[in-house]
Structure 1
Amino acid sequence: MGFSSFNTGYDWSRVQRYRDIATQHGGVLDFSVGSPIDPVPDSVRLALSEASTESNAHGYPATAGSRDLREAILHWFQNERGVDFTSIAADVVPTVGSKEAVALMASLLHCGDGDVIVQPRVSYPTYEIGTQLAGAKVLKVDEVSDVESWVHEPNVKAVWVNSPSNPTGEVLESAQLRSIVRAARSIGAIVLADECYARMDWRGAAKGSQLGATPCILDDEVCEGGAEGLLCLYSLSKQSNMAGYRTALIAGDAQLVAAMLRYRKQIGLIIPGPVQAAMAAGLKDVEGVRAQVERYRKRLHILAQALSDYGYDARMPQGGLYIWVRALSDDCWQDMQHLAELGIVPSPGEFYGDSRYLRFSTTASDESIATAAGRLSSNRA
C-alpha cells in the first residue's frame, strides 16, 4: 500500500471569503461544515470520565476494540438495524472516525493502477480522494442503483453506496441495495456502504418520536444471508455529537475486516481506550440518540420551509441532516455571495460534484436556524 497523488477542489478555505462577508452583515450564520454543536449525551461524558482512570487509559488499547465496545456494537446492529453478525459471517473493527476509514478504504483493499472504483457523481468528496490515493481510477455514475451504468465496465473492484446520501439526503430502498449487491458479486466487486446517517430517516412513520433507520447493506433481505464482499461504515459523529471523539466502525465480511485489522494494528489506527468506553456508552444510549435525531428533524423542517419561502425548491430530505437545493442563479458561488450578504453561509455544491447546488447543514443551534429563517423570510423574492 502506498499513497498516490490526489487533486480536489474540496477546500474549506474557499468558503472563508463568504464568512468574512457575512460578518459584515449581521454576523455569520454558518450552515457549511457539518460539525456538531450540540453536547454529547451525559452517558458518554460519564463513561469517558470513569474510563480515564482504568488500565485501558494508560496501557495500549485493543485495535479490534474492547470487549465492552465490541458487544455494544453487536447489540446495536442487532437491536437498531436488525443485523445478526453471527448468521451472516460478519465482523467489526472500530475506526478513528469515518473519514480515515473512507480515505484509506481503497488502499486497504489493495486497489491500485488499473482498478476502477464506482461512486455517485454527487457525493462526499473523500470517496474520490481515497480512490486517487490508492492510484485507482474513479468511475462516477448518476445513480449507483442503476447497475447497468457500471456492471459491464472492466476492472471494477469496489462500489461506493451512500444512503442516506451526503449531500442529497436520498435513501436507497432494500430492493435497490439488493440489486447493487447482486451486480457487484457477479463481477467480484466489493460494496462499500456509507451509512453514517442511517438513524436520520425522515420518511413516513420514521418522523417524530419513533426512531427509524434506513435499510442496511447487511440486512438479511439485502445481503441474502451472507456478508461476503460487503462492508458497512457507521459513525457516532452525528447521532451522538461525537465528531471530536473520532468514533466510527467498519462492519461486514469477516475476512475483509480481519485483513484490515492486521494493517490497522501495524499502522496504529486505534481508538484510545477511554474513547472506546465513551463509544460503547453512546451506542447503548438510545434515548440520547432519539433526542438528537428529534433536534435535527425540527431544524430541517424550519430551514426547509424558510428556504422554500425565499424561493428555493427546498423540502425535507428523505434522510440525513442536509438540505440540498439548486442555486437560484444556477451557480453555487453566485448564490453564496447573495446569501453571505444576509449573513448566511452554506457550502458550495461544487465540493460535492455539482456547482449548480448548495448544501445547508443543520448542525447549527436552534437560535441560528430561527435567525436564518427570519432573515430569509424578510428578504424573500
Structure 2
Amino acid sequence: MGAVSSRLPVFPWDKLEPYKATAAAHPGGIVDLSVGTPVDPVPEVVQKALTAASDSPGYPTVWGTPELRDAIAGWCERRLGARGMTHQGVLPVVGSKELVAWLPTQLGLGPDAKVAYPRLAYPTYEVGARLARAEYVAYDDPTELDPAGLKLLWLNSPSNPTGRVLTKDELTRTVAWAREHGVLLFSDECYLELGWEAEPVSVLHPDVCGGSHEGIVAVHSLSKRSNLAGYRSAFLAGDPAVLGELLQIRKHGGMMTPAPVQAATIAALGDDTHVTEQRARYAARRTALREALLGHGFRIEHSEASLYLWATRDESCWSTVAHLADRGILVAPGDFYGPAGDRFVRVAFTATDERVAEAVRRLAP
C-alpha cells in the first residue's frame, strides 16, 4: 500500500489545519469558506424520491435504470443543447471525483501516456495520472501541447478554482485540435449551471462539436446544482464507444450508484425549480462577499462562474490565508491548485447566509 500512496502528493487540505484552528478560536467562531461543500437543504422533491426508493434490497446496475438513462439523456438535450443523445451515450458514476481519480487507470493508461490539464486546476486530475503512473502535463493553451503520447486531455469550464469560462470559440478550437491529433477529450463541466457573468457552454453543444460526440465526453455532477454532494451522484455523456468501454470495466469493478440515489437523481434532473432557487441563494452570497473582499483591498480575477471568488492581495497566498484566519475566516490557498496560484486564494460562497454576513462584517474597514 505504501508503494501506491508514495506516488501521490501530500493531501493538500492537511496543510490548512493550523489556520483552521486559528480561525476556529475567533470569538465569533469560524467562517469556513475553504471547501465548496453545499450547506443548504437537499430539495424536498429529491428527498421524497430517495425515501420512496429506500426499500431497494437488490443490486443496482452500473449502467443505471432505463429511467435514469432517459433522465440524463433528456437533461443533456434540454440543458446542454446536445443532439441525438441515446442510452449508449450516458453513464452514471459514483460522484465525479471518483471518476476523475480513476479515469486514466480505467482507460489503461500507463508510463508511456501523457495526461494534460489546466495550469490552475482541481488537484485530482494530477492524482489520476499519478495513480496510473502516467506522465502529467499542465497547460496554458491546450492546442499548444505536444500531442506525441498525449492520450487524455482535461478541460474544466467553468474552472475550479478560478471560475474562468471558456468561450464557444475556445472550446470549438480545442475539440477540433484534439480530434486532429487523436486525443481523447474529457470536459469537466460540473459548474456549468452556475454562470454569473458568462453563460458556460458544453463541449456537447453542436456549435462546439459539430453535432458529433466522437472523441469527447462531458462530466457533470449534481453536488453543486442540487446540493447532492452527500449522495455521490454524477454522470458522463458523450462518445458511446468510450462510455461503452468504461461501462464494461466499471461492471467488473462494481462501481454502482445506489438504487435510491439513482431515483433521487431522476427527480433532481427533472426539476428546474430548485436549481433556480439555489442559484439565487448563491448569487446573493457571491455579491456580498465580492463587495466585502474588494472593500478589504482584494483584487478579484475571472470568477465569472462557479462557486468561488479567485482573489488576491498581491502577496503570498499563505500570508493571505493567515491574515483572514486571524479574522476567523478560512479560505483555500491558491497553490493547492498549482504553483501559478501562489498569490491567490479561493473563497467559496457556500456558507450559510448567517456565516456569509459574519464574514462581511469582519472584512469591513
TM-score (norm. length: structure 2): 0.95
Per-residue deviation at 1:132?
Answer: 0.9
Per the alignment, residue 184 of structure 1 pairs with 178
* Matched residue, 1:83: 82
**Which residue identity lines up with residue 99 of structure 1 in the other structure?**
K
Residue by residue over 1:280-336, the C-alpha shift from the partner in whole angstroms, topping out at 9 and shown as x without a partner, is 11111100111111111111111011000000002672110100112x252111111
Judged with a 3 Å threshold, the aligned counterparts in structure 2 of structure 1 residues 22 and 164 are, in CA distance, closer, same or farther, namely same
| 2:107 counterpart of 1:113 | no
Structure 2 matches for 1:299-338, cutoff 5 A? 299-314=285-300, 317-326=303-312, 328=313, 330-338=315-323
Match of 1:94 among 85, 92, 105: 92
Is 1:370 the counterpart of 2:357 in the alignment? yes
- Of the three residues 33, 42, 52, the one matched with 1:40 is 42
**Structure 2 match to 1:20:** 21
**For 1:140, which of 138, 155, 160 is the aligned residue?**
138
1:227 aligns with 2:229: no
Q: Does 1:61 align with 2:60?
A: yes
Aligned 8 A contact 1:10 1:351 in 2: no
Deviation digits for residues 7-33 of structure 1 (CA, Å, limit 9, x no counterpart): 224421221211111122221000011
Of 306, 320, 326, the match for 1:341: 326
Secondary structure, aligned partner of 1:140:
strand
How much has 1:203 moved relative to structure 2? 2.4
- Residue 207 (structure 1) aligns with: none
Counterparts in 2 of 1:119 and 1:315: CA distance versus 1, 3 Å: closer
The CA distance in 2 between the partners of 1:244 and 1:278, in whole Å, is 12
Are 1:215 and 2:201 an aligned pair? yes
Q: Which one-letter code corresponds to 1:230 in the other structure?
A: I
Does structure 1 residue 245 correspond to structure 2 residue 231? Answer: yes
**Residues 25 and 3 of structure 1, relative CA distance in 2, 3 Å threshold:** closer
Amino acid at match of 1:130: G
Specify the alignment match of 1:210 in structure 2.
none
TM-score (norm 1): 0.91
1:73 corresponds in structure 2 to 72
Q: How far apart are 1:86 and its partner, in Å?
A: 3.7
CA shift for structure 1 position 35? 1.0
Structure 1 position 186, deviation (Å): 1.1
For residues 367 and 235 of structure 1, what CA distance do their matches in structure 2 show?
27
Give the corresponding residue for 2:344: 357
Per-residue deviation, 1:5: 5.0
Q: Distance in 2 between matches of 1:10 and 1:298?
A: 32
Q: Quick check: 2:157–2:166 contact (8 Å CA) kept in 1?
A: yes
Structure 2 contact 88–244 (Cα < 8 Å) conserved: no
Q: Distance in 2 between matches of 1:349 and 1:264?
A: 34
Equivalent pairs, count? 360
Alpha-carbon RMSD: 1.7
Runs of 4+ in 1 over 3 A off after TM superposition: 2-5
Aligned residue for 2:299, secondary structure, equals: coil
5+ residue gaps, structure 1: 205-212
Which amino acid is the alignment partner of residue 69 of structure 2?
R
Deviation per CA, 1:337-376: give whole Å up to 9, x if none: 1111100000111111122110011111011111101110
Q: Which residue, out of 99, 123, 126, partners 2:124?
A: 126
| Aligned mates of 1:90, 1:62 — CA distance in 2 | 14
Q: Which consecutive unaligned segments of at least 5 residues does structure 2 have? A: none
